[in-house]
Structure 1
Amino acid sequence: MDFANNPSFIRQGPHPAVRLALCVLLSIALLIGDSRYGLMEHVREALSVALYPVQRAVNVPFAGARHVIDFFTAQAELKTENDTLKSQRLQMSAQLARLATVEREYRELRQLNELKSSRAEGGQLAEVLYTGRDPFSYKLIIDKGADAQISPGQPVIDSQGLIGQVTRVQPLTAEVTLIIDKNHMVPVMIERTGARAILYGYGGGVEVRYLPNHADVQEKDLLVTSGIDDLYPAGLPVARIGKIERNTGAAFARLSTSVVGGVQESRFVLVLNPKQHVPAAPPPPPDAAPPRRTE
């Protein structure tokens, strides 16, 4: 073994056993002094201050990795929570829409029930199943038919007013022609004055034709059924007068009208019972005999 490079103290110092004993005694003295008198407290504080930058430098990679992991974990949690909230918002929106529809239908049914109890002729509640297949006619199919004693000609109303008339009956369903159909006519009168007129459907709306230019009619006048026929009871709201055009060179006034009933909106309708004990129309007068020729 080469001892040429060893320090002289190691080559010429005390015996290793002596050095070990000295180190042990010094360690025991330091332990006793530190535990009893706190001799090493200041040394430890100085060492902790000196080693603090080293500790921070050693912990930087681990802290950075922990922050990156926390960032991605938080992003994943936020994305999951955001997706959950979006799904809940869509579900709540759908439930709110259904609730609004149910509330509207409940209000409509309640109004129809009150209207049914207030009408002397009575009627039957029916639900609109679907609209007619012909795009050029305005018809509804309801869920009451011959099984419910529905017959052609019965008026159909909603909570706002007249919407049509039963024109065809099947065993379980019935067809309702709306008043806005081009082949439909309703005898009406101006509620304010009692002046009678005929309301014609023109395919999507209604209009009053052949009303004299001098007739007493104003904007927002309400048109109700006149009851002069054997189909519609008197007093059913039908339409409201809008703009009035009077041309001095014309015999009739031009009126723009709008229906008051939900002809294309109502989900439930009331089919009024037909009039009872309507007298038959009188027979036409006999033809007059031709005058005799005198000579």
Structure 2
Amino acid sequence: MNFANSPSFANQGLSPGARLILCVLASLALLVGDSHFGLMDRARDAISVLLYPVQRAVNLPLAAGRHIGDFFVTQAELKQENDRLRSLELAQSGRLMRLQMLERELAQLKALNQLKAGRSDGGQLAEVLYTARDPFSYKIIIDKGMDAGVKAGLPVIDEQGLIGQITRVQPLTSEITLIVNKNQMVPVVNLRTGQRTLLYGYGGGVEVRYLSSGSDIRPGDQLVTSGIDGLYQDGIPVARVTHVDRPAGAAFARVLCQSVAGVQSSRYVLVLPTRSAVPPAPLPEPEPSVKKKKTTDEDAG
């Protein structure tokens, strides 16, 4: 079959010029209709909906990269912020602790000043500087010495009760032996019963010794200085009974107590002056001399 003379499909229909004119007229008609009557709004909306997944897919790598960058930047900023807040918290915690300590010291000073003002004999306010070299000796050093008129043997109290006694005095400082020292002894009286006894330190605490098993003493009893030793003034709170043990067959009861004062925690103390003159104890009556008795017998013979 000879196709040489057959017409081509490309040459069929309108000529290119006619097609161009038709396209231009259609475009103008669409432009005029869209501008005056909004013919293409719905078409654009439908096309935008159809093309939205494609648009998202095209922008996905860029958005993912941006999110990853933001994530690392945010993590770094959060770490810096956390470090800054942690440092600020530590600083504020230190300030808060110092503030609480200052408030406690201020309250203690106020209480001691009120106690000093309420006493007719006054007293010396002193600050605790440090503890002795041996922590198990239960001794502390204060900033008052001979220059302030402090003497050995003076009792020392805080706002709650008795804490110890001056045992060594230097020109600018003094040493206080606390009542929990194993060599300290305080004459006390039971406020509830009026019974006098002795309170001993045993190295970190206090206890009543040499009290008969049948004595009327029980947990909760308040012990204050009796004042019969001529050193401690009477009525100073010393300890509270915490436990009473009466072993069967034992002559003495075991009485454990808790000191009421801040023996190892007070920052400020009050050194009490010496008691007013106490009459000396009467001297014992002299026993008759054996030699004199023998001489008398010889003269009689």
Which category of TM-score, normalised to the shorter sequence, fits these structures? 0.7 to 0.9
Once the 2 structures are TM-superposed, how far is the Cα of residue 225 of structure 1 from its aligned partner?
0.9
1:200 has 2:197 as partner: no
Q: What is aligned with 2:74?
A: 74
Q: What is aligned with 1:59?
A: 59
Q: What is aligned with 2:178?
A: 178
Moved more, 63-72 or 77-86: 77-86
1:117 has 2:127 as partner: no
Q: What is aligned with 1:260?
A: 260
Q: How many residues align?
A: 287
Note closer, same or farther for the CA distance 1:53–1:243 as it changes in structure 2 (3 Å cut).
closer
Q: Give distance in 1, aligned partners of 2:185 and 2:104.
A: 30
Once the 2 structures are TM-superposed, how far is the Cα of residue 254 of structure 1 from its aligned partner?
2.5
Q: Give distance in 2, aligned partners of 1:156 and 1:68.
A: 70
* 1:99-110 → structure 2 map (5 Å cutoff): 99-110=99-110
Note closer, same or farther for the CA distance 1:185–1:40 as it changes in structure 2 (3 Å cut).
closer
* 1:122-271 → structure 2 map (5 Å cutoff): 122-247=122-247, 249-271=249-271
Q: Give distance in 2, aligned partners of 1:194 and 1:38.
A: 111
TM-score by length of 2: 0.82
Secondary structure in 1 matching 2:113? helix
Once the 2 structures are TM-superposed, how far is the Cα of residue 36 of structure 1 from its aligned partner?
3.5
Q: Give distance in 2, aligned partners of 1:282 and 1:230.
A: 14
Structure 1: runs of 5 or more not aligned: 1-6
Q: What is aligned with 2:5?
A: none
Counterpart AA for 1:268: Y
Once the 2 structures are TM-superposed, how far is the Cα of residue 43 of structure 1 from its aligned partner?
4.8
Once the 2 structures are TM-superposed, how far is the Cα of residue 234 of structure 1 from its aligned partner?
0.5
Note closer, same or farther for the CA distance 1:147–1:21 as it changes in structure 2 (3 Å cut).
farther
Deviation string 1:60-99 (CA, Å, 9 cap, x unpaired) is 1112122222222332333333333333333333233222
Q: Give distance in 2, aligned partners of 1:111 and 1:236.
A: 15
Once the 2 structures are TM-superposed, how far is the Cα of residue 111 of structure 1 from its aligned partner?
1.7
Moved more, 135-144 or 87-96: 87-96
Secondary structure in 2 matching 1:210? strand
Counterpart AA for 1:246: R
Identity of aligned residues (%): 59
Deviation string 1:156-186 (CA, Å, 9 cap, x unpaired) is 0112211100111112211001111122111
Q: Give distance in 2, aligned partners of 1:195 and 1:46.
A: 105
Note closer, same or farther for the CA distance 1:44–1:189 as it changes in structure 2 (3 Å cut).
closer
Q: Give distance in 2, aligned partners of 1:87 and 1:38.
A: 64
Q: Give distance in 1, aligned partners of 2:53 and 2:243.
A: 89
Q: Give distance in 2, aligned partners of 1:211 and 1:103.
A: 41
Counterpart AA for 1:93: S
Moved more, 26-35 or 49-58: 26-35
Note closer, same or farther for the CA distance 1:51–1:231 as it changes in structure 2 (3 Å cut).
same
Secondary structure in 2 matching 1:270? strand
Secondary structure in 1 matching 2:168? strand
Q: What is aligned with 2:3?
A: none
Note closer, same or farther for the CA distance 1:138–1:40 as it changes in structure 2 (3 Å cut).
closer
Q: What is aligned with 2:48?
A: 48
Moved more, 227-236 or 37-46: 37-46
TM-score by length of 1: 0.83
Q: Give distance in 2, aligned partners of 1:253 and 1:39.
A: 112
Secondary structure in 1 matching 2:135? coil
Once the 2 structures are TM-superposed, how far is the Cα of residue 138 of structure 1 from its aligned partner?
1.2
Note closer, same or farther for the CA distance 1:263–1:35 as it changes in structure 2 (3 Å cut).
same
Q: Could you say what the CA RMSD is over the residues aligned between the two structures, in angstroms?
A: 3.0
Note closer, same or farther for the CA distance 1:46–1:188 as it changes in structure 2 (3 Å cut).
closer
Moved more, 131-140 or 280-289: 280-289
Structure 2: runs of 5 or more not aligned: 1-8
Q: Give distance in 1, aligned partners of 2:46 and 2:206.
A: 100
Q: Give distance in 2, aligned partners of 1:242 and 1:198.
A: 16
Q: Give distance in 1, aligned partners of 2:39 and 2:220.
A: 105
